[in-house]
Structure 1
């Protein structure tokens, strides 16, 4: 709901309706919308940890990075409708003055750090810059894919990023 409607438009009653539970049940677990947003950020972090653990099973950093890109491409229809779940949440929370923007930034920083480690394993001295470029390319194409409601933009950028990763090794 937060991804589809945004934080400001989503109410706890919306969450209850979507979960098909009485609104009192939602208030039992989340006293405020901010607590719900904190739970969403924790969920984003958990999904990232799970994804990274799966990617870390692949044999080479190039394989890991290309699988990361492939995962983004696999979610292109969601990006076309709503944008990147983490990126759109980060943009929305940045407009508030409650510290939740720093919490979602930590999730993005964890992905950036993991990506940097992959480029470091590839022997790249410019690993941080490459990691920023990769994450920025994804966030940018997520925005364009959403703006134009065109999942093929994400697929085309995914192919370009895979060629770029191969060229770096």
Structure 2
């Protein structure tokens, strides 16, 4: 007889593997080019088993969008103990710069997904905008904590700078662009913080 707890654990593990694989394959290939069989292969799950967890590609997309929100939430939680908003903003920038090689190949993990989903007639029900809004809201909070009355505008500029440099880094396949822009953004944060 099998232990039902271990069966539940196996199901959670397999589902998580499928979501992680979908995040990676959608990022590297794009949604339109990706098949459920591609995701199954990347997760090392028999394609017939996939349908137990996900019946459609849209269900994968929902899970991937939620996965990106979770990644952002974890990132923000890891930055929270830093002493102040300028340090948190600079740490976010450094995290982006650390991903420069991947950005040079594929762009921003969530920005590329959001752009692709926006091309759909339903825009995926605004979910990409909601998740991108989480980053904008976090940045607005950091700038507000710096005492900036223009925190909302600065938050948009902060996220736009990252999204823009991700596109350029990817277009020119030049990770150095991300390094240069990261340094400029850090100087900008220092100026805004009066450092």
Q: What TM-score results when the alignment is normalised by the length of structure 2?
A: 0.85
Contact 1:58 1:64 in 2 (8 A): yes
Q: 2:174 — aligned with what?
A: 150
Deviation at 1:24, TM superposition (A): 1.1
1:5-154 correspondence runs (5 A): 5-100=29-124, 102-154=126-178
Large movers: runs of 4+ above 6 Å = none
Contact 1:93 1:100 in 2 (8 A): yes
Deviation at 1:5, TM superposition (A): 0.4
Task: Indicate the SS of the match to 1:125.
Answer: coil
Deviation at 1:98, TM superposition (A): 3.2
Unaligned runs of 5+ in 2: 1-24
Unaligned runs of 5+ in 1: none
* Aligned residue-pair number: 169
Deviation at 1:127, TM superposition (A): 0.3
Deviations 1:107-165 (A, max 9, x none): 11011000000000000000000000010000000000000110000011000000000
Q: Which 10-residue stretch deviates more, 107-116 or 12-21?
A: 12-21
Q: What TM-score results when the alignment is normalised by the length of structure 1?
A: 0.98
Which of 1 and 2 has greater Rg?
Answer: 2
Task: Indicate the SS of the match to 1:157.
Answer: helix
Structure with bigger RCO (C-alpha 8 Å, 6+ apart): 1
Q: Which 10-residue stretch deviates more, 92-101 or 40-49?
A: 92-101
Is the alpha carbon distance of 1:149 and 1:101 closer, same or farther for their aligned partners in structure 2, counting shifts above 3 Å? farther
